[in-house]
């Protein structure tokens, strides 16, 4: 064969093979781009656009059923492509109860479910601690710490995330003014009425609002080192109407005095000048932004109140909107976006924070008196007695529901509990998957799930612990 002809033929083969490879890569990249965008071939070989479900559970490894059919080789934690529209997701695991929810998958979007919890069918309860003298108890937001309060000045701090329950004495005799200590007494008496308790997120400090006769005092209790605790009312001589913890470790607080908002520097023991005048309600995100409702002295009578935003360290207040009545406000973050929620009467308005663009307006059937952002920012709960309205940021929808009792709280980051007639009942944050998990719980004490391992609740004169992950 002619060498030149063979060489040309070989070059042609190389060109063709490389062209095929390039074309294959282009087709593969294009196909992957379509798949990532949610496009898929259905059973009739027609192109349709799907969504993606990402689901996890505690414990992991639960079997997934979609619309009543087993998802082959699929267990939590996993992701699955689903056609757009409504689907019922059910999780089961041997030895555990089940979990179910109907969701709406949107074209080309991710739907994330991270909070399902399955409880073992057979659990053993142990009396972890005798709490005979306890009159009140409070758990930290991470559900790892517990303070037991009694009528003396010796309270107890307990680390729940430990195999051995070992109470540590908290001497509060020098922290509160509402104490009585006789000269010959070994332990003083606590004579105040506790009106409210808030924790910082790290679980290192608890903020107490206490009433003694006609006097209200605020005290910040350092649970790790009580000697570093501070009586805010005594230190700053202020008649504070409200105090909030600003940062994770309680170095800075926000306090309302004479309807004006101030900042308290705990370590520097200083009270700032007025940040916001005529304040009514406020919330903050981290330690750098405050969203608030206030009465404006120069506002029109038809809208005498306004919603404002203040960056801490910046004296300039940004007015966002006016309202006809005092409003409740919340500043939250979900995924990478920040949101502002305004509750005026029974009307809920959700805004994009950056440009204050109105996203949704919802009308409730009742007027809540509280509004709280969930731990991850995924939901916002508004309550009145045992009525709850949950704004689900994943689905951008409001769900109204009721607990069995007004004695309710957060048993973990995503699940609410209530106690009525000894029945400890848990619900997902949207009221679904209602389950009674104990029948002998004391209604005036809290319940908590610690480290996804233990369930704690009070029963008679005992702190009870059950192992909930095998």
Q: Are 322 and 328 in contact (CB under 8 A)?
A: no
pLDDT exceeds cutoff 50 at 108: yes
The mean pLDDT value for 336-347 works out to: 96
Q: Are 66 and 91 in contact (CB under 8 A)?
A: no
**Residue 273 has which token pair?**
């000048």
Specify the higher pLDDT residue, 29 or 158. 158
* Burial of 322 from C-beta contacts in 10 A (0-12 / 13-18 / 19+): middle
Lowest mean pLDDT among 168-172, 198-202, 280-284, 296-300: 296-300
Helix, strand, coil share (%) of the chain residues, nearest 5: 10, 50, 40
User: Which is nearest to 371 in space by CA: 396, 347, 355?
Assistant: 347
User: What does residue 8 show for φ and ψ, rounded to 5 degrees?
Assistant: -65, -40
Tens of pLDDT, residue by residue over 287-330, are 789 999 999 876 556 679 999 999 988 888 999 999 999 999 99
pLDDT at position 13 is 61
Cis peptide before 99, with omega less than 30 degrees from 0?
no
| Calpha distance 463→313 (Å, rounded) | 45
pLDDT at position 411 is 97
pTM of this prediction? 0.87
The mean pLDDT value for 176-187 works out to: 75
pLDDT exceeds cutoff 80 at 183: no
pLDDT exceeds cutoff 70 at 7: no
Q: Which residue has the tokens 């005799």?
A: 173
pLDDT exceeds cutoff 90 at 186: no
pLDDT at position 10 is 61
Tens of pLDDT, residue by residue over 241-291, are 999 999 888 999 999 999 999 999 999 999 999 999 999 999 998 778 999
The mean pLDDT value for 59-63 works out to: 92
SS3 of 294, please?
Answer: strand
pLDDT exceeds cutoff 60 at 420: yes
pLDDT at position 237 is 83
Q: Are 7 and 14 in contact (CB under 8 A)?
A: no
| Calpha distance 332→350 (Å, rounded) | 11
**Residue 309 has which token pair?**
């935003």
| Calpha distance 87→258 (Å, rounded) | 53
pLDDT at position 314 is 84
Q: Which residues of 413-449 are buried (b: 16+ CB within 10 A; e: fewer)?
A: bbbbbbbbeebbbbbbbbbebebebbeebbeebbbbb
The mean pLDDT value for 99-114 works out to: 91
Q: Are 305 and 281 in contact (CB under 8 A)?
A: no
Tens of pLDDT, residue by residue over 67-90, are 998 865 577 778 888 888 999 999
Task: For the chain, give the mean pLDDT.
Answer: 89
Cis peptide before 77, with omega less than 30 degrees from 0?
yes
Tens of pLDDT, residue by residue over 361-408, are 999 999 999 999 988 899 999 999 999 999 999 889 999 999 999 989
pLDDT at position 163 is 92
pLDDT at position 45 is 45
pLDDT exceeds cutoff 80 at 187: yes
Neighbours of 41 (CB within 10 A): 10
| Calpha distance 118→59 (Å, rounded) | 7
pLDDT at position 274 is 95
Residue 36 parent element (H or E): helix 3-36
pLDDT band at 214 (very low <50, low <70, confident <90, very high): confident
pLDDT exceeds cutoff 60 at 430: yes
pLDDT exceeds cutoff 90 at 464: yes
pLDDT at position 47 is 46
Question: CA–CA distance from 203 to each of 227, 235, 245, 346, 415 (Å)?
Answer: 17, 23, 12, 33, 19
Q: Write the CATH number of the domain with boundaries 41-113.
A: 2.60.40.10
């Amino acid at each position: 064969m002619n060498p030149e002809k063979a060489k040309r033929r070989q070059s042609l083969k190389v060109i063709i093979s490389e062209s095929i490879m390039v074309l294959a890569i282009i087709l593969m990249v294009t196909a992957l781009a379509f798949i990532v965008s949610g496009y898929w071939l259905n059973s009739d070989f027609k192109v349709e656009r799907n969504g993606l479900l990402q689901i996890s559970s505690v414990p992991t490894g639960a079997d997934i059923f979609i619309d009543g059919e087993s998802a082959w080789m699929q267990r939590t934690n996993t992701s699955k492509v689903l056609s757009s529209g409504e689907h019922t997701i059910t999780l089961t695991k041997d030895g555990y109860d089940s979990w179910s929810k109907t969701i709406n998958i949107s074209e080309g979007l991710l739907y994330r479910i991270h909070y399902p919890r399955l409880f073992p069918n057979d659990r053993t309860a142990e009396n972890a601690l005798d709490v005979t003298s306890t009159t009140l108890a409070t758990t930290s937001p991470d559900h790892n710490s517990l303070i037991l309060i009694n009528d003396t000045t010796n309270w107890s701090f307990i680390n729940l995330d430990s195999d051995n329950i070992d109470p540590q004495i908290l001497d509060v005799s020098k922290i509160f003014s509402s104490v009585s200590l006789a000269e010959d007494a070994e332990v003083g008496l606590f004579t105040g009425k506790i009106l409210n308790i808030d924790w910082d997120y790290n679980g290192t400090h608890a903020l107490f609002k206490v009433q003694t006769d006609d006097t209200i005092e605020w005290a910040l209790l350092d649970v790790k080192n009580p000697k570093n605790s501070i009586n805010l009312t005594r230190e700053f001589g202020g008649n504070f109407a409200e105090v909030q913890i600003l940062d994770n470790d309680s170095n800075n607080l926000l306090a309302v005095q004479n309807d004006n908002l101030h900042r308290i520097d705990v370590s520097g023991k200083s009270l700032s000048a007025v940040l916001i005048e005529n304040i009514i309600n406020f919330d903050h995100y981290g330690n750098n932004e405050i969203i608030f409702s206030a009465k404006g002295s120069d506002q029109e009578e038809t809208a005498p109140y306004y919603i404002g935003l203040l960056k801490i360290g910046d004296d300039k207040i940004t007015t966002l909107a006016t309202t006809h009545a005092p409003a409740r406000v919340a500043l939250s973050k979900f995924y990478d976006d920040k949101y502002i929620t305004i509750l005026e009467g029974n009307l809920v308005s959700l805004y994009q924070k950056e440009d204050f663009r109105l996203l949704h307006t919802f009308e409730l059937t009742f007027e809540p008196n509280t509004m709280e952002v969930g731990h991850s920012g995924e939901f916002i709960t508004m309550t009145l007695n045992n009525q709850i309205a949950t704004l689900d940021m994943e689905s951008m929808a409001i769900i109204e529901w009721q607990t069995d009792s007004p004695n309710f709280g957060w048993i973990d980051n995503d699940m609410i509990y209530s106690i009525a007639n000894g029945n400890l009942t848990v619900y997902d944050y949207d009221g679904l998957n209602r389950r009674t998990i104990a029948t002998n719980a004391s209604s005036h004490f809290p319940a908590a799930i610690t480290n996804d391992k233990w369930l704690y609740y009070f029963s008679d004169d005992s702190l009870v612990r059950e192992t909930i992950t095998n």
